[in-house]
Amino acid sequence: MRKCEKCGASMKLDLRLKVNGGGYGMVVRVDEKQKATTIDDVRVAVCPECGYTEMYLEDFVNPLGSDSVKLTFIRNGKKHKISYKPEEVKKYMVGMSYNAGDTEATIGNVTAGSAMDEAGAQPGDVVVAVDGTEIKSGDELQKYIEENPFGDNTVTITVNRNGKTKELEMTPQYQTVYSKGFDYNLARKRMTFGRTLKYSFVEVKYQINTVLKSLKMLVTGKVSANEVSGPVGIVSAIGDTYEASKSEGAYMALLSLINMAIMLSANLGVMNLLPLPALDGGRIVFCIIEVIKGKPVSRDKEGMVHFIGFALLMVLMVFLIFNDVRKLL
């Protein structure tokens, strides 16, 4: 359970941010061995008491395994370093995440290849019953699973999808997961302006690192063309973010959208600095060449390079828009 850093109350988890990408709408997926889906699985946790909002990735980019973990923490002002092995836990799982709290048990993520995936579940489905037991909220679903843990028997999960009820039959999969053995963000602490400013830089750094990891996944071929979105996908993500948070009130929706704006701004900054023609990064490359050569590059040649780069970017944009529209149909 995640606690609010400001007031200590239990936060509502798994609110979907559904960021379909970086500055140009890229969606990035880690490899199937990690049993995760896409970078749009960045989650939003909202405190219902004070409105504090934070984003978290829940071990999707660097999932725990059987290898030792090196942990650095601060206790009483002193830095400590330890090394330990995550606890191995074997249990039956169906492969979904859902909104916790007293709102509808909306499925946020369906793990590729899981029982839920094979049964045809989709993100956005609302769980309304499990084996005939009515489910009215995420809290009720969580309590039901705790009291009736999944086994090797067939499970029937009833979902509501666009106003229509569907029954999904599946057999939970016996899987090994690894637990980090602790919870975090449990302390209640009021931040000064200076600490808040410092944290804002840490947050932006985290977003930039996420973009760089995403680009690495793209270059190494872990992302297919179907996992790339453009402006239409970004607008759709903004709409999904609003829909996921509006039930918590206008203030919660505004905070969620501001968090998304921070992420998109960081992504745009990184993308624009790539050493590609027509981008600021491409212009920087030409400036470096001029410094090395000691004389300016021909403006006609530079202009031609940027023109070709711009034309290619336009072709890419048309492809992204077409891809977005195709996925919406």
Residues 163 and 209 in one domain: no
16-30, 179-193, 197-211, 224-238: lowest mean pLDDT where? Answer: 16-30
Of 272, 291, 316, the position where a domain reaches its end is 272
Whether residue 113 sits in one domain with residue 99: yes
Report how far residue 31's alpha carbon sits from residue 34's, in angstroms, rounded to the nearest whole number.
6
Of the candidates 300, 308, 263, the one whose C-alpha atom is nearest the C-alpha of residue 282 is: 308
pTM for this one? Answer: 0.45
SS3 of the chain = CCECCCCCCECEEEEECCCCCCCCCECCECCHHHCCCEHHHCEEEECCCCCCEEEECCCCCCCCCCCCEEEEEEECCEEEEEEECCEEEEEEECCEEECCCCCCEEEEEECCCCHHHHHCCCCCCEEEEECCEECCCHHHHHHHHHHCCCCCCCEEEEEEECCEEEEEEECCEEEEEEECCCCCCCCCCCCCHHHHHHHHHHHHHHHHHHHHHHHHHHHCCCCCHHHECCHHHHHHHHHHHHHHHHHHCHHHHHHHHHHHHHHHHHHHHHHHCCCCCCCHHHHHHHHHHHHHHCCCCCHHHHHHHHHHHHHHHHHHHHHHHHHHHHHHC
**pLDDT exceeds 80 at position 230:** no
Q: Structural domain of residue 54, as residue ranges?
A: 1-62+183-272
pLDDT at 1 over 90: no
Number of domains in the chain: 3
Answer yes or no: do 42 and 102 share one domain.
Answer: no
For residues 174 and 102, state if they share a domain.
yes
Identify the bridge partners of residue 110 per DSSP, sorted by sequence position. Answer: 96
Q: Which residues contact 279 (CB under 8 A, 6 or more apart)?
A: 271, 272, 273, 309
What number is the average pLDDT over the span 10-35? Answer: 42
Q: How confident is the model at residue 34 (pLDDT cuts 50, 70, 90)?
A: very low
Residues 40-92: tens digit of each pLDDT: 345 566 666 666 666 554 444 456 667 788 888 888 888 889 888 887 878 88
Residues 221, 242, single domain; the answer is yes
Same domain assignment for residues 244 and 170: no
Give the CATH number for residue 170. Answer: 2.30.42.10
Residue 267, beta-bridge partner list = none
287 lies in the same domain as 261 = no
When mean pLDDT is compared across 39-53, 128-142, 264-278, the lowest value belongs to 39-53
pLDDT per position as a tens digit, 276-326 = 888 898 889 989 998 998 888 888 888 999 899 889 889 988 888 888 787
108 with 171, same domain: the answer is yes
pLDDT of residue 44: 61
Higher confidence at residue 172 or residue 45?
Answer: 172
> Mean pLDDT over residues 250-261, rounded?
80
Residue corresponding to tokens 């086994």: 151
Q: In angstroms, rounded to a whole number, what is the distance separating the alpha carbons of residues 25 and 317?
A: 10
Boundary residue ending a domain (116, 147, 179): 179
Residues 246 and 306 in one domain: no
Asked if residue 189 and residue 168 are part of one domain, the reply reads no
Say yes or no: 58 and 187 in one domain: yes
- Could you tell me if 136 and 173 lie in one domain? yes
Among 179, 210, 238, residue at a domain's last position: 179
Amino acid 156: pLDDT: 94
pLDDT bracket for residue 155 (50, 70, 90): very high
